[in-house]
Structures are given as structure tokens and as C-alpha cells.
Structure 1
Amino acid sequence: MKNILKKSAILLSSLLYFNSFVFADTDSNKKDIVFIIVDDLNTWIGAMGGHPQTKTPNLDALATRGVLFTNAHCNAPQCGPSRKSFLTGLYPKSTGKYFNVAKKMPFFKDQPLKGATSKNPPKKPLDFHTHFMKNNYRVVSGGKVDHGSLKAKIDNKFDRPKEVKHFTDKRVNLWGEGGPQNIDDTMTGDYKTAQWAIKQWNTKSDKPLLMSVGFYRPHRPFNVPKEYFDKFPLESIQLPKVPEFDDLADLPEYGKALARSNAHKNLFKPRTVHEHILHLGGEDEWKYMVQSYLACINYVDTQIGLFLETLKNNPRGNDTVIILTSDHGWDLGEKEHWCKAALWRTTTRVPYIVVAPGLTQAGTVNQQPISHVDIYPTLCDFAGIAKPKHLEGQSILPLVKDSSAKREAAYLSYGPRNTAVQTERYRYISYEDGSGELYDHQKDPREWTNLSSNPEYAELKAKMIQKVKKFENN
């Protein structure tokens, strides 16, 4: 009798599993999902007003077609842990990955640099590619999506192409990297990624499609064809806005040390990256770096535009959902800091655009705090498939459906005991030594004034600290 019951249960389970596939194939409202991830792109896109000279016509046009989330953040401000979070739907405290390289800097004290610190981290969680494969999607992924090669077994993979180097001159930046190149777009990596993506998009299939496409620029090295540099004449470059006073003066010592570090590297000791740039050529060298970054942004916008144009026609007759974001922000001298690897708004804030036919209202701007850990459950909701139980993020579908819906906070980590909590208006950064920074983004969007020691904000600060402790200890 036990064997009969066991066989019956297996048969029922198999039928239910099979029926879920049949439903997915016959559903007239099937969605093709396109997830685009850009490397090292901060908010310097026209739609977000991050820099007055940026040229991003394709990203700006995409934003007008759907919802632009202006308070979106990575969960960890480095490539590896950030991508791990959106691929698995887990916070760094559950993936155990906080940094690209777990190297202890002098200001990092007793907190662990790797390993899960949450109470019940899931074992072997499925990444969203594998989950969609199990839900009868055709799954393809190309360019830089994972930090390295994507491990999931999927229908088609395309590794990030190698770069070609043919520089117009011998000038190099502080990292020894050349800039303008004597090549056309067809020889560049992101162009090749776009062409692969276009081909995969036009491949017909009875199954709905999940695509993840990773574009590499504006990640270093700042090498793109000369035509993109020419759009930003060096003499006209505007530097990032910084205060006339010392922006580090009101930071705790921990924050000052973080500002002077560069992703756990002391490349130009005793100078910081910013000090070395100024040492090499003063503001002219700083302008060259900004010019290079702007050129790379315009280049990658052009390559993404090639792909976005193709997405306007769906060869499978399905609705097309597009989510585009970046893996983290990037500093170019704000707080005398460069690159990523810090918990200020400029290093965690990212573009986040969602276009979903029948759900998103064109030209909507949403200021609720969301983060990358929300991507996985959102993809599932848009596809109409069940969400795995291990997910720690929340789908943003309610925010898309109701522009008045609210979110309490987003949580961002640079180590298990360095945590930023971002609400709709405020950010509190808590460091492992007990010090912190508090900013009012409504009054101070560039975070020039640390309110942590201001008695008028004592009650708010206490509430934010409680949020941090609750997050870190669960």
C-alpha cells in the first residue's frame, strides 16, 4: 500500500510539473524578458541629470517608454558581490561575497571579509537563469553578466569579447591605459555583444525567451573609437561639482580612510588616486579622465541602441519586458574618491529603467528605494512564474502598478558591518567602529553635509541605526 501511495504521489507531481510547462507554452500572454546590465555606469545619463555634458540618447529614449527608478542601488559597490546579489536574489550577507578580493585594509577592523553572516543562508540557491530554464524558457546570456563566466547551463552563452587596441596617440592615464582608438565600432567588444544579442533575439522559438546581456563600457580601460572622444572637447569638459570647503572634514575617521582607499588597493602610496591624478596634470588630467568616461558612456549607449532598436519588433509575437540597470555607481573625484568601493550615494546609485507593456506608464519617474536584490523576484513576476523561496528581495511590480505605493528602505553593504540604509529621502551609513554619516538627499543630494552629529536629527539617526542593526543581525 505504501508503494502504491508513493508511486501515485510521484505520478501526480510529474503531471503537475508537466502541466506547468504546457500552460507556459500555450499562454497567450507570454512575456519575453530582456535584462540588460551595464558595467560601472553611474547616473551620468541624460534622464537622470548626472552630468550636464553626457550624451545618452538611447537610454534616455528607453526611460521615456517606461518607469525610471531614480532611487535604485546596488547591494554591494563592487562588480562581483553586486552581480552575485541580482543573480541569486540574495543580500551579500547570505551569499558570503562582499568584495571582489577579500583583502583587509587598515581601517577594516574585526568584521569578516567573506562568508555568509545571515542566520539562515540558503544552500546552493538557483540563479535566475537556471530558474527560468526550469520554467520552460529559452535562456541565453552574453557579454559580462556574472563576474567571470556564467556558470548556469543555458541554451546559449556568449563570453565577453576581447578588446582590440589601436591607439591614436601615446597618451596614457594614471593606470597606464590609452584612450582614443583608430578603429571603428565593428572591432569593439560591446558592438560584438550587441550583434550576438540581436541574432539571439531574432531566433524563433516556441518557448518564451529570457535574455541577459552585459555591456562592458564604461568600465576601464577607457578605450573607445576616437569619434566618441571628439564629441567631448577636452577644453570644454566640466568637472564633477564639489564643495568649496573640505568635503571630508565632517566625516568620521573611518569614512575618511574609505575615501582615500581605492577598492582595497594602495596603487600610488602615499598618494590617493585623486591626488595622483592632480599630481600628473592638475585639473587638466582630471578633465581627461572625465572626458574618457563620458566618451565611454556615449559609446556604450550607441551599442545598446542597436539592440534596443531590434527589440521594437518581437519575432515570437510575445510582449517584451525590458529591465536595464548598472552593477554599481562610480566616483570621479567626489569626496576625493575614485571608482567604486564606498557607501556614498554616488557609488551605489544606478540607473534602473523598466519597460513592460500593459504595466508601465510611459515617462513615469519613481523615487522609492529599491536595490538589485529585487531584480530576481521582479523578473519572475513579469514572466508569471513562481518565485523560489530563497529570495530576499521584493518584486517592484507593486511599484510599477501603483505609482503611489511606498517602500521602506534599501540596504547596501561594504562588509557585513559597514551598512547603508537608504529611504526615500535619507541615507545613514553605519561603520563597524560605531561611527556613521547621515544625509538628507532632499536638501543635500550630493552629500556634502554629514548630519550625524546634528542634535536636530538625533531621533531620525536612532531610527536608522535600529534599521541597520535589524538588517545586520537577521
Structure 2
Amino acid sequence: MRLFWVILFLLTACSLRAQLPEQPNILFIIVDDLNDYQFSMSGHPQIQTPNLDRLAAEGLLFNNAFATSPGCAPSRASMLSGKDVNYTQVFDNTDYITEFRNNFNEVQDNALVYTLPEILKDSGEYFTYAINKVFHNPSNNDYDAAGGNDCARGQSWNRMINFGETGSVTAEFEAYKYLGIFSFGAIPNELESQLRDYRIADSALLFMDNYASGTESACGRPFFLALGFKQPHSDRFIPEKYYPQWWQENLNEIMGSKPYNYPADRYPVNGFIMPPQPPEGEFADYYALPEGSIAQNLADKGELNSFIDSMVSLAQVIPGLAALYSGTELNEIITRTFFAHYAMNYMAAVQYIDHQIGRVLDGLEAHPELADNTIILLVSDHGYTIGEKRHVAKWTLWETVNRIPMMMAGPGIPQGEVVHSPVSLLDIYPTLLEITGVDEPVFPDGSRYLDGASFLPVLNNPALHLNRPVLSYIRNQSGLASCFPQISVRDNRWHMIRYQANNDGSGPQNVCDNDTAIYEWELYDIGYNRETDPEEWNNLAAISDYRPLMDFLQKTLYDSVLYEQTLMSAYLEVLGAQCLYDYNDVIELSSLVYDSDGTPLGDGYHYRWTNSLTDDTLYGQQLSFALNDVYESTFNNSDYISFYLHVIDSASGIAKGFQMERLALHADEVPSGDITMDIDNNTLEIISVDITGKYDNFYWMFDTLHTSDYFYPTPYTFETSGLHTITLIINYGNNCSVSVSKSIDLDQPLPGAGLDEFSLFPNPSRNTTQLKFSGEITGIRLMDMQGRNLPVTLIPEGFDVYRVEGGQLATGNYILRIESNEHTRHIRWQVHGN
């Protein structure tokens, strides 16, 4: 059977190679700082990217593509040289030497370098043409300017051009700075044709027109045309037509309306939708990181703090604004307003660059004979964070920065398919060589030069199960985390980050001591199809059950036994799964494992099972485990049991694959819930929520149109009359849920009185705030977002004002339940720090 799968794999690979043009043109589009905002990647819900979406629909979308570093210079140096960052030794933009080849020398033991366009030019007889930023420094794009004839140049390119905005339009940017001080803003639409990226598209269109007509001097060769679009990299001065409707030109407009959707889960929306935040509170995932940790240090290096300080200072001098809000309240509004405008500016830049890409695609399609022989590959050098984990910038190792758009289309490429296997920017080099029929370069001793792996197999079968972990690196230039690379490992399900401090903290910070250096960890279960924790809100690294998994993932790091190897893809299925297991239950697990080529695993391996509650070791593709083999006291004191599958190479004894399953115990702890609600006109408010038992999380459904994961969701306004259903879904145990549903008929609305007016100020605050309430308060409760009661003290201060003291509260969102003689109302209280 194994031989059958191998033969089938080879036949299908050959079949795809036969479908591709023999020596296709390559249109390579690299976009600077483009994250996953595009609609086809389930990005921002309000964005419009019809051309990126068209490219994805006409070809392959790689849903789990990653950069090798979260910065321009290290990422591009690695991608274009085909070498891991540990070889290039460019971990940061400041590591990069202006002339590309000067980064490779005997001192760093990396003197040999071959670039992708160089090999295509010299070994594949391609005409290589770079327009603007392809390598990190666009004016030194590894171009042999002194080479004379285009057809005989050295280095990477036969031809290269580089330009910025026109001089006249650059001078005008000053007048359009946001609030007059920030280097981004909305500019008149008529300036668009003078912008750099518009001119890049113009240059590409001219080349393709001339090439198609036979008037372009391309040395009689197929072309490798590389377009380096700048946007959405800063500075972002974008024509006003690309901005969403909530863009505000000055802070005075804030007095009339907030530009962002408020509250954050409001529906219908009343503003720009901000990036999602954890249900525990804004930036709760950032504050959950150890204070002063390397992760927080990297996040703090973004542009957020300095921008907000400038915004707050500016707001203090706007007439009427400071009087309208308290100091803390004003700072909160200013912070959110800046975030919203920065994000809207980024969105505008993405929509603008989408239009330029569309112009290029239209120009190619205008020449069918050219389009029928051209492979299109679009990537970004890395992503970008817009407020997630309290970070605005790149230079962190989270998915918002390391995950990138990657799409490939053209003759022989499947259409409308999605690849979920992880791929790296390193894989582009060998893939394009295989597509074009060009041999890979080798070291002088004949060993393989390239560090990536061709993803040609998934071009034939996008559902192929390949699992080659992607490594990404960053290293600070000075201070904390400047001695050793910080490393991200991303396989087909899990994302682990290892941070390494300079030393143990007992001496000077700039002393490098690998033997005593302290490590910090993050681990996220993203899911095979990004279905579990794509936002990386739930860091699992501190849970001991996940230590065996982290030990395995460490073996894929540089200089480890599984470095640059494609792992076995292992999937576990619970047979006859129960929501919660009792002591006398038997757990049945089945495994499905694929070899490194994506075919079902054959002979030469054995399956070893271990677990978190006993020392038992069992073997076989299936596992049957009686829970009463666990000491009863251990079982009673454990909420979970974890099972680990180790796929062992019988010849070497090395585990080439690993997967785990964590199952919840104790069947007597099924949760239940109850809700009460009130309706005023067409607006429904949840009055009380009671959940008993153990649960993982919950969410709300209002009919089928809206969801919220807040314990007390924002009052919801129905847009139609008639019967409506409100459902609270409570998730628990082993992928189980219970739901509580209630219906209302808006043709026969619930009787309701007017609402008593109340307000909380300042909000956010620390542990004390003030409540203004026009009625008599008969009771008050303070709850966290999981509905747990917390201590609270209410102190009357006169004139319908009460002081609310909440004790030592962690940063996050809380709910104050205010009870009066006639009504019960809830208000969300944001607490920042102790």
C-alpha cells in the first residue's frame, strides 16, 4: 500500500509539471508590511480588496504562510538568498549593510550567496527586471549598474529602476499630515497618479505592453518581473477616496461622534470596527504576559505610546474638549480615536494598493497570449499589528506580524483553492526554480544550498498534509534580548515562541551569558484551519500538560535534530467522545499520520502513547485507556488528562511526529444557564446572566445575525419587527455546548418603563470610580466577565453621586450591576492597573 501512495504521489507531481508552461514568465509582486486585512483571508470585516480577492479566487491562497522575520531587511534578505536568518545574520534592519552582498562574508561564515533572480537570470536564461523595493534597499537592489548591456549584467537583475513619489507631491504631504503632526493622512484624489505605487503599476503596464507587442528589449527571454509596492508601509499618505466613512480630519469632530464602533460589540455598527480584543478586556492578553518580560518589551517598542502622548497633549488645548470629559475619560477617548484613525489609514493604504495590483492584473489579462504563459506570485515581506496586544508596528513574533498573504495564480495552478499546510518565504526560491525547470544551486562540496522546500506538491493537491515548521527570528540591537535570537516555531497547528534573556538578571543587562540565560515561553493552539485561537489570546505555555509538546517543538530549532525537516502530520480522533469523562470510563483514541511527502505513513515507524496522569506507555495506531488505571485520588484532583502520540522512526529512534489531545474529566460538572432581559422599543438589554458549573467560554447569538462574547453584551437593536430569538451558547468539556434560548415578539413588546440615567466616571479608571445615578440604589454587584462576584463597596457622596471601590482588581473589563426599585441595569467598567 505504501508503494501505491508513493507512485501516486510521483505521478501527480509529474502531472502538474506537465500542465505548467515549459518556461513561464513570472510576475512576482511583493507588498511592504501587508497583513491579513484582505477580505479573502477573513481579515477586516469592513475592507474592500476586490483585486486581491480576485487573485485568490483565480489561483491558490496559502492560509498559513509566514515570514522568516518580522522586519523588512531580515525577511527580504532571507527570502531572496534562500537562506535561513541564522545564515544571513540579518536579524534587524540595523544589521543590514546597504549593499546586499556585503552582508555575506568570511567573518560571518556565510560568504557564499546566490539570489533567486541571479539563478533565474544566469542558469534559467530569464530576463530579470526589478521595479522599486524588492531587496531591502531599493536603490541598491543588487543591481550591476556598471555592467553595460542589459543582457550581460552580473548580480541579480538585467534591469532595475527605482523611484519615489514625484517631488511636487512629496512637498504637499506636509499640508495633509493627520492633525498637522503625524506622518499619515488623507490627500486629494487628483494626486494619486503622482504617487510611487501608482507609477510602479504604470511601469509594469508599459513593460508588459511592450513585451507583448515585441518591442521590449528583453534579450529574447521569458521575464521575471518583480514589483516592490511600498504601501501599506509608513508613511501613508493615501487618496481620500480609499478611506472609510468614519475618517475625521481633526479632533474637534470627536465632540460630535466617536469614529469607532462603540461599544465594541455593538450591532448595527456605528463606526469603524477595531481589531478584536479578548473578552476579558482590552489588551488583556498583553497584560497577562509577565510584567517587564521580553514579549512586553517587544510590544512596547511600537509607535503606540509616543503617538498617544502627542494626541493627549494636543487634545488638552482644543476648546471645549477637555471640559466635556474628565482627564482619564479624555485620555481613553483620545487613545481609541488614535487607534481608529491609524487603523483606518492602514486600511485605506491596503485598499489603495489593492487598486494598483488590480491595474497590473488587468494589464496582464489585456494580453491573453501573455497571461496564458505567466505565473503570478504575490506575497508580503511580513505582516503588521494594529493594536493587538497593545502593539502598533511590526518587530514581534505573533501571528499578526509573522503571518503573511501569499497567493499564486496562472496556467496550471488550481483555482479557488486554499492551502492550509504551513509555508515559508524561504520556500518561494526552490518552488520557482522547480516550476521553471532550473536546477538548484549547491555549495562547493555538492551539498544543498537552499534552506526552503518547494511547495510544488500542494499546487497539484492543495489538501496535501505537509508539516514543515516555519522558524522566524528577531533580535534587539541593544538592551533586553539583544544577545540571542528570539525564535518563533509554527507548525500546522501550534505556535510556540521562545524568548531568551541576555543572562539570569543578576548582572549588567548587556552581559551575554548563554549558560545562565532565562527563557520565557508562549504557546498557542491556532488550530489546523485557524479555528481554535487565531488571535493568540490563550497562552498555554504555563500549563504543565503542554510541556511534552513544547519539548518536541524545540527539536525543530536551529542546530537541533529536526531543524529544516518536514515532520509527520499527525491527527488524533476521540472515538465515541464524551463531553466529560468519569472514573470508570474508557477513552478510545485513533491516529491518522501522514509521511513527510503527505502520503499515509507506511512501515518503518511505531506509535508510542503516553499521558499526563500515569507513567504508562502504550503502542499502536489506536489507544484504549481505562481511566480507573489512574490513582483515584489523582483523578479526583485533576480536571484534565492529556494523551501524547510520539511517531518514532524505528531505525533512528527519533520522534518525527507528535500530537496531543487534552480531555476534560468529571461528568457531574455540566454547566447550565439562565438569562433575563428587557426590551425598550426595538432595543434589547440582557438584565441578568446566571451560569453554574464548569465551562470554557460562551457567546451570544441574536437571531443569526450577530455574536458577542461579552458576559453582558451591548444592548442590541433589532431592525425588523416580529419574532426574534436570543441564545447564549456555553462551551464546556470536550467540544460540547449547552444553550439557553429565549424569544421575543416585537409586535407584542415586553412592557417597559423609561430607563433611569446613570453614568460611570472616570471610565476606565484604576480601582475606584464614581457612579452618578438619578434613582435610588437598592443594590450593587461587581462581576468579572465570567460572571463571578467580586467585592465592591458603594459610598454615597451626595447629589446622586456614589464612590465605587472595587479592591485590588486586575486590568480588564468588569460589570457593575445596579439595582433600583424599578429596574436593574448594567454598565461595563474598564480597569487599567492597580
2:492 aligned to 424, 427, 441, which one?
A: 424
Cα gap change, 1:393/1:405 in structure 2, threshold over 3 Å: closer, same or farther?
Answer: same
Partner residue of 1:100?
Answer: 93
Query: Is the aligned partner of 1:159 residue 2:162?
Result: yes
Cα gap change, 1:274/1:128 in structure 2, threshold over 3 Å: closer, same or farther?
Answer: farther
Query: Is the aligned partner of 1:296 residue 2:349?
Result: yes
Cα gap change, 1:305/1:232 in structure 2, threshold over 3 Å: closer, same or farther?
Answer: farther
Partner residue of 1:141?
Answer: 130
> 1:350-387: CA deviations, max 9, x gaps?
000011412x2111111111111111111111211111
Cα gap change, 1:461/1:250 in structure 2, threshold over 3 Å: closer, same or farther?
Answer: farther
Aligned ranges 1:243-258 → 2 under 5 Å: 243=278, 244-245=280-281, 246-252=284-290, 253-258=293-298
Cα gap change, 1:409/1:465 in structure 2, threshold over 3 Å: closer, same or farther?
Answer: same
Partner residue of 1:226?
Answer: 240
Pick which of 330-339 and 173-182 moved more.
173-182
Query: Is the aligned partner of 1:464 residue 2:553?
Result: yes
Aligned partners of 2:22 and 2:436 also within 8 Å: no
* Cα distance in 2 for residues equivalent to 1:316 and 1:240: 40
* Cα distance in 2 for residues equivalent to 1:239 and 1:83: 30
Query: Is the aligned partner of 1:397 residue 2:456?
Result: yes
* Cα distance in 1 for residues equivalent to 2:142 and 2:109: 20
Aligned ranges 1:358-397 → 2 under 5 Å: 358=412, 360-389=413-442, 390-397=449-456
Query: Is the aligned partner of 1:64 residue 2:57?
Result: yes
Partner residue of 1:260?
Answer: 300
Partner residue of 2:749?
Answer: none
Aligned partners of 1:418 and 1:431 also within 8 Å: yes
Amino acid at match of 2:457: P
Query: Is the aligned partner of 1:410 residue 2:474?
Result: no
Aligned partners of 2:372 and 2:411 also within 8 Å: no
Larger Rg: 2
Partner residue of 1:54?
Answer: 47
* Cα distance in 2 for residues equivalent to 1:131 and 1:277: 50
Partner residue of 1:131?
Answer: 119
Amino acid at match of 2:474: Y
* Cα distance in 1 for residues equivalent to 2:313 and 2:539: 28
Aligned partners of 2:105 and 2:112 also within 8 Å: no
* Cα distance in 2 for residues equivalent to 1:452 and 1:155: 49
**TM-score calculated relative to the size of structure 2:** 0.49
Pick which of 75-84 and 276-285 moved more.
276-285
SS class of match (1:311): helix
Aligned partners of 1:232 and 1:295 also within 8 Å: no
Quick one: higher RCO (CA 8 Å, sep 6+), 1 or 2?
1
TM-superposed deviation, 1:473: 10
Cα gap change, 1:332/1:472 in structure 2, threshold over 3 Å: closer, same or farther?
Answer: farther
* Cα distance in 2 for residues equivalent to 1:239 and 1:362: 32
Aligned partners of 1:160 and 1:189 also within 8 Å: yes
Partner residue of 1:111?
Answer: none
> 1:273-302: CA deviations, max 9, x gaps?
567667762211211111101111110100
% same residue: 29
TM-superposed deviation, 1:144: 1.2
SS class of match (2:378): strand
* Cα distance in 1 for residues equivalent to 2:21 and 2:388: 50
SS class of match (1:147): coil
TM-superposed deviation, 1:471: 5.2
Cα gap change, 1:276/1:47 in structure 2, threshold over 3 Å: closer, same or farther?
Answer: farther
Cα gap change, 1:317/1:177 in structure 2, threshold over 3 Å: closer, same or farther?
Answer: closer
> 1:210-255: CA deviations, max 9, x gaps?
1111111111111011211255645321111112332123324121
* Cα distance in 2 for residues equivalent to 1:413 and 1:231: 38
Aligned partners of 2:73 and 2:93 also within 8 Å: yes
| RMSD (CA atoms) | 2.8
Query: Is the aligned partner of 1:215 residue 2:229?
Result: yes
TM-superposed deviation, 1:101: 1.5
Cα gap change, 1:471/1:355 in structure 2, threshold over 3 Å: closer, same or farther?
Answer: farther
SS class of match (2:375): strand
SS class of match (1:162): coil
Cα gap change, 1:64/1:30 in structure 2, threshold over 3 Å: closer, same or farther?
Answer: same
Q: Which runs of 5+ in 2 are unaligned?
A: 1-19, 97-101, 145-156, 249-258, 260-270, 315-333, 443-448, 476-483, 502-518, 564-834
Partner residue of 1:349?
Answer: 403
Query: Is the aligned partner of 1:196 residue 2:203?
Result: yes
Query: Is the aligned partner of 1:447 residue 2:487?
Result: no
> 1:309-347: CA deviations, max 9, x gaps?
122225558611011010101001100011100100101
By percentage of residues, which structure has more strand?
Answer: 2
Cα gap change, 1:197/1:472 in structure 2, threshold over 3 Å: closer, same or farther?
Answer: farther
> 1:141-172: CA deviations, max 9, x gaps?
10211111211342221203235233596552
Pick which of 432-441 and 311-320 moved more.
311-320
Pick which of 170-179 and 422-431 moved more.
170-179
Partner residue of 1:73?
Answer: 66
* Cα distance in 1 for residues equivalent to 2:119 and 2:21: 21
TM-superposed deviation, 1:117: 12
Aligned partners of 2:555 and 2:561 also within 8 Å: no
Cα gap change, 1:305/1:283 in structure 2, threshold over 3 Å: closer, same or farther?
Answer: same
TM-superposed deviation, 1:38: 0.3
TM-superposed deviation, 1:393: 0.7
* Cα distance in 1 for residues equivalent to 2:79 and 2:200: 21
Amino acid at match of 1:466: K
Q: Which runs of 5+ in 1 are unaligned?
A: 1-26, 104-113
> 1:15-38: CA deviations, max 9, x gaps?
xxxxxxxxxxxx972200111000
Partner residue of 1:240?
Answer: 275
Aligned partners of 1:190 and 1:300 also within 8 Å: yes
* Cα distance in 2 for residues equivalent to 1:345 and 1:118: 34
Partner residue of 2:337?
Answer: 284
SS class of match (1:90): coil
Partner residue of 2:194?
Answer: 187
Cα gap change, 1:382/1:410 in structure 2, threshold over 3 Å: closer, same or farther?
Answer: same
SS class of match (1:29): coil
Cα gap change, 1:399/1:170 in structure 2, threshold over 3 Å: closer, same or farther?
Answer: closer
Amino acid at match of 1:411: L
* Cα distance in 2 for residues equivalent to 1:383 and 1:167: 43
